[in-house]
Amino acid sequence: MTFGGWIHTWFGPYPLREPLPTAPEDLRKGNETLAPGRVSIFVTGEKPSLPPEWLSILGTQRFTLFVYGEIRYQDIFGKERSTKYRLIHGGNELTRPVEGKDGAIKGWLLKPDAEGNETI
pLDDT at 1: 59
Which residue type does 120 have? I
pLDDT at 85: 96
Average pLDDT of the segment spanning 38-66: 82
pLDDT at 63: 95
Q: What are the phi and psi torsion angles at 56 (to 5°)?
A: -70, -20
Residue 14, pLDDT > 90, answer yes
pLDDT at 60: 92
pLDDT at 45: 64
Which residue type does 74 have? Q
Tell me the pLDDT of the chain averaged across its residues.
Answer: 86
pLDDT at 44: 63
Residue 99, pLDDT > 80, answer yes
In terms of Cβ atoms closer than 10 Å to its own Cβ (0-12, 13-18, 19+), residue 29 is middle
- Helix or strand (DSSP H, E) at 55: helix 52-55
Nearest to 14 by CA among 95, 98, 100, 72: 95
Cα 47 to Cα 90: distance, rounded to the nearest angstrom: 20
Question: What whole-number percentage of the chain has pLDDT above 90?
Answer: 42
